[in-house]
Amino acid sequence: MNFEAANFETLNFETLAIHAGQEPDPVTGAVVPPIYQTSTYKQDGIGGTRGGYEYSRTANPTRTALETCLAALENGARAFAFASGMAAEDCLVRTLCRPGDRVLIPGDAYGGTYRLFDKVFKSWGIEYEPVLQTDLGAVARAAAAQRPRLIWAETPTNPLLSVVDIRALAEIARQHGALLVVDNTFASPYLQRPLDLGADFVVHSTTKYLGGHSDVIGGALVLKDERHAADLAFNQNATGAVPGPFDAWLTLRGVKTLAARMDRHCANAARVAQALADHPAVAAVLYPGLPGHPGHEVAKSQMRDFGGMVSFRLAAGEEKAVEVCGRTALFTLGESLGGVESLIEHPARMTHASTAGSPLEVPPDLIRLSVGIEDPDDLLADLYQALD
Ligand SMILES: Cc1ncc(COP(=O)(O)O)c(C=O)c1O
């Protein structure tokens, strides 16, 4: 691709995923951005950096390639990559909030996000309030009463798959002087672009669909505009939770196939969700693609498709749910999600154990599936043998 001639504004998602930030190496013509496995850079006289690179905590060309690509995919002004999703969240909150500030978090937030607010930020004077964000009236009332600095949203949520109306939340945030953050990990920018819907910031665990191959931990922040870019760049460097060049490279390599993988994740998940809905052992299926899901219409209005995550509740209760998690063969029992291989887990005892006894506790009979891109007939056969 001729990058001089290319106008990124006119390019479509699949093209940006493969080309944005990834121009052939100017020295060798390498088509894939090299892994710049270096901590430091020669200066041509003091301050004479080549392209601004001086030390890899501050900036590294492989990381720059990833950040440029992520900004393009989310249609944001800037992106910052981190060593994990939690590091990205930590940097964002510590950049935007001060002691005494308040944050509204989802009533069914990802367990790690809840733990960060409850166990870390609270002791530094940042208060949080969990509010079920599918109840927009409750969010508006909490925002009016608390004047939060941030409204933190996740959609679809982990692991209950509730869908919140990003446009409506953005309007509430605007009315009450708050900034809207959307954790877009479950949807990925291919399915949903929160900044286009009015959010100020997007957060990712790039460990999941963006990386896509369960071989790297990473996180990212994407900003709608440049307003907080200098402060975030300062804190990214000052606190230093950056990904190494190889991790940035692996993530970028995953991103190239995001669109193709997501199409297959969505198609497989839709089949799995329908099969579970028809199964007598299953009490409820939580999947935004099912017409009976309470967030189905909102999901249709803000997502390209419904994603690869499916949760379901077993009629026979917790012990049976634990048993089923141990009986699948293709669905590997494990934490995390968004990789090409299918995973199964029991949120109450695994990913969301930190919410036990809190208002965010998840149902004990719940099973969460990350539906991979294997043959769907094989996946269904595996689930049937585990359930029957
Ligand atoms: C929705 C969501 N946000 C954030 C995170 C944290 O990301 P990481 O594990 O990369 O730190 C996760 C991890 O599971 C997640 O599912």
Q: What 3-state class would DSSP assign to 29?
A: coil
What is the reported pLDDT for 360? 83
Protein residue whose Cα sits closest to atom 13 of ligand 1: 205
- In the reported structure, the alpha carbon of residue 383 is separated from the centroid of ligand 1 by a whole-number distance in angstroms of 25
Protein residue whose Cα sits closest to atom 10 of ligand 1: 85
Atom of ligand 1 nearest to the CA of 206: 10
* CB within 8 Å of 115: residues ≥ 6 apart: 354
Distances (CA, A) of 306 to 30, 176, 282, 288, 303: 36, 30, 20, 6, 7
Compute the distance between CA of residue 18 and CA of residue 33 in angstroms, rounded to an integer: 11
Q: State if residue 86 touches ligand 1 by the CB under 6 angstroms criterion.
A: yes
- Name the nearest CA neighbour of 383 among 337, 329, 340: 329
Compute the distance between CA of residue 165 and CA of residue 48 in angstroms, rounded to an integer: 49
Atom of ligand 1 nearest to the CA of 351: 14
The residues facing 105 across adjacent strands are 130
Q: Which of 101, 108, 165, 183 is catalytic?
A: 183
- The one-digit pLDDT tens for each residue of the chain (388 residues) are 555 556 677 899 999 999 999 999 989 999 999 999 999 999 999 999 999 999 999 999 999 999 999 999 999 999 999 999 999 999 999 999 999 999 999 999 999 999 999 999 999 999 999 999 999 999 999 999 999 999 999 999 999 999 999 999 999 999 999 999 999 999 999 999 999 999 999 999 999 999 999 999 999 999 999 999 999 999 999 999 999 999 999 999 999 999 999 999 999 999 999 999 999 999 999 999 999 999 999 999 999 999 999 999 999 999 999 999 999 999 999 999 999 999 999 999 999 998 888 888 999 999 999 999 999 999 999 999 999 9
Q: Which of 57, 300, 320, 327 is catalytic?
A: 57
- Name the nearest CA neighbour of 127 among 116, 136, 118: 118
